[in-house]
């Protein structure tokens, strides 16, 4: 989906409702991935009830948000998971949900395959157990593969295999592609953000500049690979990648967390980017009237990037990546392909990386029982 | 689907339209594709297309003469992405 410039300018000023709404159903998770954006683990006692969640779905339908990206935590841990999915689908709100796959047994796969308007993304972070489990925990890769086997056996159709690109798995791109082909699945690659627990691990895990260039070339050759528009900072390397190629935070994108807090995007679960709560006046009110979103829809200031000939291609990159590495919004992206971000980081005399954000991490190690 | 302006067309039942300042977003629930309709005039045309016996009659009735060529091209691309269907 290539988008022309006039339309991109419109999107930067915000739309009547989001295009890409992510809703984290729960902070509970049976894994403890080292790069978890929402620092998930323990359920929050204040999470939306089934009735509140259904009311939110009704509002999403009324706003004509065509589909919602459900995540967590592990969304399938919620006992009302299927009830909520079916409530959404019955109102023509499509559901795309991300899961670690541990709850997809034969019965769940059969039920999922029978539901319309449903997309599933199963997450792995390596093309083999050793690479993936290093991030997602022992047994997680095999559990994800079993889920894929169940979906295939249940004839779910083309599900998605979702991979966060790291220093350890960029070298496995061709293997991911083969795995997707094996299942008749679609491959989806996304960018590692330094958010949530990745505040601690991003430094060691984010791809090297050479790997980023390799990834860009690989993606250019494969427009069918999905990216959730997350690598637009790489568009400065040449021709734009597929997608809107802009920071959609608060403009076409936002996140609702399990307790109903609304954030500008899935990668900025932090007070500074909290626009409101759906329990107060409803989601539509937050989307249309919040001060934060109004300010995010004002024309962007190119800041330090103003003199760079590629600003129009990358728009200064990802707001969340800057924020959590200690950069300002007017600074270059920390992974700027010309190295301007690294230079900006090196030039800071004092680097204050944000620390306080909701943390639901469990305090004990986890392991996956095989089934 | 190839676009034949001599037959009746209408919004695909699998497609939802959402009005926006620039025009509308169309989402195809089957193909999961999002399509942008970049003018209010085009949105009006698409919404009322099925009230006319064929697309050319709809164009004559709803679109200024000098704009018809452009709108006919837009309809052909909406037909190709299955946002509209021939009846």
The 10s digit of each residue's pLDDT in A337-357 is 999 999 999 999 888 888 768
Answer whether residue B1 is part of any domain.
Answer: no
Query: By a Cβ cutoff of 8 Å, what residues of chain A touch chain B?
Result: 1, 3, 6-7, 10, 15-17, 19, 64, 66-67, 92, 94, 117, 119
Rounded-to-integer distance, Cα A38 and Cα A53, Å? 19
| Six token digits for residue A332 | 């270059």
In a domain, B41, yes or no: yes
Mean pLDDT throughout A118-134? Answer: 98
The tens digit of pLDDT for each residue in A235-285 reads 999 999 988 888 999 999 999 999 999 999 999 999 999 999 999 999 999
Give the C-alpha separation, A335 to A321, whole Å.
8
Per-residue pLDDT band at A5 (split at 50, 70, 90): low
pLDDT at A3 over 70: no
Question: Which stretches of B17-86 are DSSP H helices?
Answer: 40-48, 55-62, 68-80
Q: Average of pLDDT values for A191-217?
A: 96
Q: Is B6 helix (H, G, I), strand (E, B) or coil?
A: coil
What is the value of pTM for the model shown? 0.93
pLDDT over 90 percentage in chain A: 85
- What is the reported pLDDT for A301? 80
What is the rounded average pLDDT of the residues A35-48? 97
Residue A283 has what pLDDT?
A: 98
Are A66 and B16 an interchain contact pair (Cβ–Cβ within 8 Å)?
A: yes
pLDDT single digits (tens) B7-32: 999 999 999 999 999 999 999 998 88
Give CA–CA dist A195/A71, Å, rounded.
16
For position A364, what pLDDT does the model report? 66
Mean pLDDT computed over A104-109: 98
Contact A66 B27 (CB under 8 A): yes
What is the average pLDDT value for chain A, to the nearest integer?
94
pLDDT of A8 above 90: no
- Give me A110's structure tokens: 């059969």
DSSP β-ladder status, A261-263 and A253-256: antiparallel
Asked if residue A2 has pLDDT above 50, the reply is no
Q: What is the pLDDT of residue A355?
A: 74
Whether B6 has its CB under 8 Å from any CB of chain A: the answer is no
Domain span holding position B74: 10-82
B18 inside 8 A of chain A by CB: yes
Residue A327 clears pLDDT 90, i.e. is over it: yes
Predicted local distance difference test score (pLDDT) of residue A367: 62
Classify residue A268 by burial, with Cβ atoms within 10 Å: 0-12, 13-18, 19+. buried
Would the CB atoms of B29 and A117 count as touching at under 8 Å?
Answer: yes
For residue A288, what are the contacts with CB-CB under 8 A and spacing of at least 6? none
Give Cα A241 distance to the centre of its chain: 18
Q: With 50 as the cut, is the pLDDT of residue B44 above it?
A: yes
The phi and psi torsions of A173 (rounded to 5 degrees) equal -50, -45
> How many structural domains comprise chain B?
1
A1, pLDDT greater than 70: no
User: What are B48-83's pLDDT values in tens digits?
Assistant: 999 999 999 999 999 999 999 999 999 999 999 999
Is B24 part of a structural domain of the chain? yes
Flag whether residue B32 sits within 8 Å of chain A, measured between CB atoms: yes
ipTM for the predicted complex comes to 0.87
Whether residue B60 lies inside any domain: the answer is yes
Query: What pLDDT, in 10s, does the model give residues A58-100?
Result: 999 999 999 999 999 999 999 999 999 999 999 999 999 999 9
Residue B87 domain-assigned?
A: no
Whether A67 sits inside 8 A of B27 (CB atoms) is yes
A212: nearest Cα among A37, A346, A338 = A338
pLDDT of residue A246: 86
At residue A371, the pLDDT reads 46
B26: chain A residues, CB-CB within 8 Å: none
* pLDDT tens sequence across A148-201: 999 999 999 999 999 999 999 999 999 999 999 999 999 999 999 999 999 999
Q: For residue A302, what pLDDT is reported?
A: 87
Residue B25 lies in a domain: yes
**B3 lies in some domain:** no
Give the containing element (helix H, strand E) for A22: strand A20-24
Q: What is the DSSP string of A73-94?
A: S-GGGSTTHHHHHHHHHHTT-E
- Main-chain phi, psi angles of A120, to 5 degrees: -125, 135
| Test mutation, B30, B31, B34, B37, chain A, max A CBs within 10 A | B34
pLDDT digits (tens, 9 = 90+) for A66-77: 999 999 999 999
- Residue A368: pLDDT band by 50, 70, 90 thresholds? low
pLDDT reported for residue A299:
84
> What would the mean pLDDT of A122-136 be, rounded to a whole number?
98
Q: How far is A365 from chain B (nearest CA, A)?
A: 39
Q: Residue B5 domain-assigned? A: no
């Amino acid at each position: 989906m290539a988008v022309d410039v006039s339309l991109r300018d419109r999107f930067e000023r915000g739309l009547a409702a989001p295009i890409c709404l992510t809703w984290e159903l729960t902070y509970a998770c049976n894994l403890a991935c080292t790069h978890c954006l929402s620092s998930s683990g323990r359920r929050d006692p204040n999470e939306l009830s089934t009735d509140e969640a259904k009311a939110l779905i009704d509002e999403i339908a009324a706003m004509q948000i065509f589909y919602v990206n459900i995540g967590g935590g592990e969304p399938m841990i919620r006992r009302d998971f299927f009830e909520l999915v079916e409530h959404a689908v019955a109102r023509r709100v499509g559901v795309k949900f991300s899961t670690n796959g541990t709850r997809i047994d034969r019965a769940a796969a059969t039920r999922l395959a029978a539901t319309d308007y449903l997309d599933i993304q199963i997450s792995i972070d390596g093309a083999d157990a050793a690479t993936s489990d290093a991030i997602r925990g022992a047994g997680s890769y095999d559990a994800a593969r079993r889920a894929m086997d169940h979906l295939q056996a249940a004839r779910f159709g083309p599900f998605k295999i979702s991979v966060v690109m790291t220093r350890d798995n960029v070298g496995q791109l061709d293997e991911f592609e083969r795995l997707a082909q094996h299942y008749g699945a679609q491959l989806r690659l996304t960018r590692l953000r330094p958010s949530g627990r990745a505040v601690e691990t991003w430094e060691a895990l984010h791809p090297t500049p050479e790997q980023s260039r390799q990834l860009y070339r690989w993606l250019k050759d494969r427009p069918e690979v999905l990216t959730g528009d997350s690598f637009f900072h790489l568009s400065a390397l040449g021709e734009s990648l597929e997608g809107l190629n802009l920071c959609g935070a608060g403009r076409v994108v936002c996140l609702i967390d399990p307790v109903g807090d609304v954030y500008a995007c899935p990668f900025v679960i932090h007070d500074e980017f909290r626009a409101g709560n759906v329990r107060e006046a409803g989601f539509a009110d937050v989307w249309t009237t919040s001060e934060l979103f109004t300010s995010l829809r004002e024309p962007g200031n190119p800041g330090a990037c103003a003199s760079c000939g590629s600003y129009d291609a990358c728009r200064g990159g990802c707001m969340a990546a800057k924020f959590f590495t200690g950069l300002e919004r007017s600074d270059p992206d920390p992974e700027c392909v010309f190295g301007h971000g690294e230079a900006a980081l090196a030039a800071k005399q004092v680097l204050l990386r944000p620390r306080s954000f909701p943390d639901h991490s469990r305090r004990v190690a986890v392991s996956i029982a095989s089934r | 689907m190839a676009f034949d302006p001599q037959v009746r067309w209408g919004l695909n039942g699998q497609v939802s339209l959402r009005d926006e300042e620039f025009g509308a977003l169309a989402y195809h629930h089957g193909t999961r594709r999002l399509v942008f309709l970049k003018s209010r005039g085009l949105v009006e045309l698409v919404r009322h297309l099925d009230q006319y016996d064929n697309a050319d009659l709809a164009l004559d009735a709803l679109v200024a003469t000098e704009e018809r060529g452009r709108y006919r091209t837009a309809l052909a691309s909406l037909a190709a992405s299955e946002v509209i269907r021939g009846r």
